[in-house]
């Protein structure tokens, strides 16, 4: 019996030592991953520049979007508001309408990324508003909350557009984290009534899922770093993104929604996309699949069909 207790003690001690060694190694890694991917720890980070110029499609999207902005530069006015103690900056492209779309970009992206999605709205004569998310571009802030606090920023922008610019109908168009932002804006109790619908591309069920898939694709270990990064978000922002995630809140969405997903998306995988769509509480929801294009690269691979889907949705509402 004594030998059994000794053996058990050795096993327990080995486990404790192993856990301590693992934590000593993984805690610094998780902090580095967190600060690299979700914290603006330098003024030069997440500026108004192409985030991935080595990706040919991303660079083409960037150049095409910048060309649109240049074509319409005479329509643009820079505007600012303050929300949650942060100065936020955006660009309004005025096409003379009382309708407007707010285009919400993905993680690490400034408003210049959103230029690429503006053309179909401009062709319909709808005003286009492009905000720099908090901690991106020329907006203030340090931490990303993956759409939670950004959703409240979006509603602050909507109130500004309604009260100061005379815009009576506002639509949201979000991509990836921007799609999460749109959902949190739509379920917020202070959502202005002028928000009439949203186009939601590539939204994840929760950020852990898509972040995990990114780490797998990049060849990095998932456990325990991925979970530790989620805890870093809560520690620094107070937001528990495992609980405050699109899947847990999309059931409260009441405005019309056009969901856009890609069949080849390896980050927001189709199986999860179907779950998110099914959970949406809107009585007026539509799901459009595109066969070509990776995550956030659907329009460049299906431009005409993508734009037609957006135009049909806006025209119907």
The arithmetic mean of pLDDT across residues 307-316, rounded, is 97
Where b means 16+ CB within 10 Å and e means fewer, 42-51 reads eeeebeeebb
User: Which residue has 């189709």 as its token pair?
Assistant: 270
pLDDT for 25: 61
Q: What is the pLDDT of residue 139?
A: 98
Query: According to the model, what pLDDT value does residue 220 have?
Result: 76
Inter-residue contact 271 to 28 (CB < 8 Å): no
Cα-based torsion angle of the residue sequence 216, 146, 276, 61 in order, rounded to the nearest 10 degrees: -70
Percent of the chain with pLDDT over 70: 92
Give the pLDDT band (50/70/90) at residue 1: low
Angle between helices 225-237 and 2-38 (to 10 degrees): 60
d(CA 317, CA 314): 5
List the domain boundaries for the chain. Answer: 55-206+245-316
CB 93 within 8 A of CB 124: no
- Determine the Cα–Cα distance for residues 239 and 287; give it in Å rounded to an integer: 29
* Residue 257 β-bridge partners: 198, 285
Question: Residue 313's pLDDT is what?
Answer: 98
Average pLDDT over residues 194-199: 98
pLDDT digits (tens, 9 = 90+) for 46-83: 999 999 999 999 999 999 999 999 999 999 999 999 99
pLDDT per position as a tens digit, 98-132: 999 999 999 999 999 999 999 999 999 999 999 99
* pLDDT for position 6: 56
Give the per-residue pLDDT at 10: 45
- CATH value of 55-206+245-316 in 3.40.640.10, 1.10.580.10, 3.40.50.1820, 3.20.20.210: 3.40.50.1820
- The mean pLDDT value of the chain amounts to 92
DSSP 47: -
Q: What is the pLDDT of residue 7?
A: 47
> Helix-strand-coil percent breakdown of the chain, rounded to 5?
50, 15, 35
Between the two ends of the chain, the Cα-to-Cα distance in Å is 76
> Phi, psi (5° rounding) for residue 109?
-110, 140
pLDDT class of 15 with cuts at 50, 70, 90: very low
Asked whether the predicted pLDDT for residue 26 surpasses 80, the reply is no
pLDDT digit string (tens) for 216-257?
988 877 888 899 999 999 999 999 999 999 999 999 999 999
> What is d(CA 82, CA 139) in angstroms, rounded to the nearest whole number?
10
pLDDT by residue (tens digit) across 272-291? 999 999 999 999 999 999 99
Mean pLDDT of 3-22: 46
């Amino acid at each position: 019996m004594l030998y059994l207790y000794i053996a058990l003690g050795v096993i327990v001690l080995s486990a404790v030592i192993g856990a301590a060694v693992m934590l000593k190694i993984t805690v610094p890694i998780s902090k580095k991953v967190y600060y690299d991917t979700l914290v603006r720890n330098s003024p030069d980070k997440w500026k108004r520049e192409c985030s991935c110029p080595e990706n040919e499609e991303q660079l083409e999207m960037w150049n095409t979007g910048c060309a649109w902005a240049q074509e319409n530069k005479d329509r643009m006015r820079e505007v600012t508001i303050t929300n949650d103690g942060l100065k936020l900056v955006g660009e309004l492209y005025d096409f003379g309408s009382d309708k407007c779309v707010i285009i919400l970009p993905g993680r690490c992206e400034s408003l210049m990324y959103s230029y690429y999605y503006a053309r179909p709205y401009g062709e319909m004569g709808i005003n286009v508003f492009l905000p720099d998310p908090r901690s991106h571009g020329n907006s203030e802030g340090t931490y990303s909350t993956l759409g939670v606090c950004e959703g409240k920023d979006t509603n602050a922008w909507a109130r500004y557009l309604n009260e100061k610019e005379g815009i009576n109908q506002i639509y949201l168009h979000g991509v990836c984290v921007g799609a999460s932002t749109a959902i949190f804006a739509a379920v917020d109790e202070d959502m202005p009534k002028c928000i009439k619908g949203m186009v939601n591309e590539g939204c994840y069920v929760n950020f852990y899922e898509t972040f995990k898939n990114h780490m797998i694709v990049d060849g990095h270990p998932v456990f325990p770093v991925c979970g530790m990064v989620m805890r870093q978000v809560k520690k620094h922002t107070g937001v528990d993104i495992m609980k405050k995630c699109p899947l847990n809140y999309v059931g409260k969405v009441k405005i019309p929604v056009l969901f856009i997903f890609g069949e080849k998306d390896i980050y927001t995988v189709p199986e999860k996309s179907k779950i998110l769509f099914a959970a949406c509480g809107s009585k007026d929801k539509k799901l459009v699949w595109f066969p070509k294009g990776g995550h956030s690269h659907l329009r460049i691979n299906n431009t005409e069909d993508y734009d037609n889907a957006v135009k049909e949705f806006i025209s119907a509402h």
